[in-house]
Each structure stands twice: as C-alpha cells, then as structure tokens.
Amino acid sequence: MQYLLIGIGGFLGANTRYLLGRWLDARYGGAFPLGTFIINISGSFLLALFMTLTTERIPLDPRWRFLLAVGFFGSYTTFSTFSVETFRLLESGAWLLAMGNALGSVGFGLLGAWVGVLTARTLW
C-alpha cells in the first residue's frame, strides 16, 4: 500500500513541479532558473510545515506521510534539476548567476524550512 501512496503522491508532485516551473519560466523567464528556485524554496517550506504539524501537533495516520512527504514533496522539490542547472550556468561561464542560484536556493530553502516550522508551531 505504501508504494501506491508514494506513487500517487509522486505523480501529483512531479506534475505540479512541471506545470508550476513551466508557468514561472514562461512568465518570468530569463537567464536565471526562477522556476526551480521558487519550487525549491516553497517545497522546503511546505515539507517542513507538514512534517512539523504531523509529528508535533496533529496526530495523523502515517500513510499520509507516504503520500505527501515522500511522494508529493519528494517529486515536487527539484534538487537534482537545481544541481544540473547550476552546473550548466557554471559551464557557460555565468559564475555570478550560478553562485546566486546555489547560495540563494540553499539559504532561502533553509529560511523556508525555518518559517514552515515556526508557522506550524505558532498557528496550530
């Protein structure tokens, strides 16, 4: 059963990532991979929020973690895409953009996780 839940969540997370990333890139496209950047930050926030709520505040059937934490958020966040895009920026000589993407994604991702934990602990 857990594999089915992970698979369903993964399908939904991957498609959400694709559609949101495509929309962001079409709307705000440019040299910087904004879609991946936004998805990494929002994924960090949402996963931290969900895990904090379900481990500290709201008792929840563990199957929801398979569906959402492992499946959806595991497919929605795009660290592997982030790595390849940052490498391509480096490879093309866009060092400042590459460093901005790497440092910004990590820094703001950690900030998103921190705000997610604080939000979960404060609101619920």
| Binding-site annotation: residue ranges for Na(+) | 74, 77
How far is residue 113's CA from residue 124's CA, in Å, rounded to a whole number?
A: 16
- 87: Cα within 13 Å, side-chain hemisphere: 6
* Chain centroid offset of residue 76 CA: 6
From residue 35, alpha-carbon distances to 17, 69, 94, 95, 112 in Å are 9, 21, 18, 19, 16
Binding residues: 74, 77
